[in-house]
Amino acid sequence: MAKVIATISLKGGVGKTTVTAGLAEYMSAEFGQRVLLIDLDSQINLTTMMISEERWLELNTNGRTLATLFSDAVRGTRYFRLDEAIERGVSPVKKVNSVDLLASSLDLIEVQEDLSALRVEGRVPDGGTGFLREAIEPVLDFYDYVLIDCPPNIGPITLNGLAAADAYIIPTIPDVLSTYGIPQIQTRVRKIGHEIGRTIVELGVVITKYKANSAVHRSTAMRLRRDPTIQHVLPSYINEANSVAAAAEFTSYGTLRVKYGNQGQFDQFRGLTMDVMTEAQEKIR
């Protein structure tokens, strides 16, 4: 059965989505893993990194996004079809051939507001956090990993992502503002785990956009490593680089090395992928 890992940060711009996409592509191309990506963020960045905007518009028009799943939950309808919603063989990198996608939608903004209202009124079962896990359960045996890109908030859509996950990672830039939200994430994950009756494992913090020549970055990374409340800081950092930023664009690439850069970034992402897979194998039961 797949190991389900959520990626979450309460601070935008930390590279959360790029990390999620990179992990999926490296798991596939470098390690032969079958991966399902789930984009819960209404900004649809992960979706449009993996498929063209034209293809996303087609899926969205035909109701083949996660907005339909959560809309069903709100309205009591049953339009969502998992087999039709999964987009097979995504990624603009030619050598990535075992990554599938459940696409996001801008419509999740409105759906989240409706779902929040139902939660307040107590009109959804189990606080409305189990819809995603229930939906993906039938396909978990077909994948090695499921990676969930959560929105940068603790709304009901994010709670569904966390409740569906076996574990989570927290990408962060090593500066004061970006790391503020880590304790809030940990507290909320523990609460969700208590509510659903199982532990959601913290695999670690992922250092992103790292600048080795920055005293702030060096000292913050060291502080995180020494912080007893943080389970683990993954050894592989992702440096600040133009090639990594450009990887967020949907452009055809021949290889991962071309997409992510050949000035150490390729090896950094490969190392991070190995770190995550190792932690997952050891900690997810």
- CB-based contacts of 136: which residues, under 8 Å, 6+ apart? 4, 36, 38, 82, 102, 146, 164
pLDDT at residue number 87: 99
Question: Among 17-26, 89-98, 166-175, 258-267, whose mean pLDDT is lowest?
Answer: 258-267
The whole domain housing 209 covers 3-280
In a domain, 157, yes or no: yes
Report yes or no on 276 lying in a domain: yes
* 160/10 Cα distance (integer angstroms): 16
Give the amino acid at 284. Answer: I
Q: CATH number of the domain at 199, please.
A: 3.40.50.300
The angle formed by the CA atoms of residues 280, 284 and 285, to the nearest 5 degrees, is 145
Mean pLDDT of 88-108: 97
Write the pLDDT tens digit of every residue in 120-153.
777 777 778 999 999 999 999 999 999 999 999 9
Query: Residue 67's pLDDT is what?
Result: 98
Over the stretch 165-224, which tens digit does the pLDDT of each residue have? 999 999 999 999 999 999 999 999 999 999 999 999 999 999 999 999 999 999 999 999
Residue 171, φ and ψ in degrees, nearest 5: -70, 140
The 10s digit of each residue's pLDDT in 12-49 is 999 999 999 999 999 999 999 999 999 999 999 999 99
Q: Tell me the sheet residues that pair with 172.
A: 207
What is the percentage of the chain residues whose pLDDT exceeds 70?
Answer: 100
Q: Is 126 inside a domain boundary?
A: yes
Assigned domain for 50 exists = yes
Task: Determine contact, residues 209/238, Cβ cutoff 8 Å.
Answer: yes
pLDDT band at 249 (very low <50, low <70, confident <90, very high): confident
Cα(36)–Cα(51) distance, integer angstroms: 14
Can you state the angle between helices 156-164 and 108-121, rounded to 10 degrees? 90
Number of domains in the chain: 1
Exposure on the CB side of residue 6, measured as CA atoms within 13 A: 28
The answer to whether residue 285 is domain-embedded is: no
CA distance 253 to 269: 16
Indicate if the alpha-carbon torsion angle 64, 22, 253, 41 is positive or negative. positive
- Measure the CA–CA gap between 73 and 88, rounded to whole angstroms: 25
- Asked if residue 224 lies in contact with residue 173, where contact means CB atoms within 8 angstroms, the answer is no
DSSP class per residue in 6-23: EE--SSTTSSHHHHHHHH
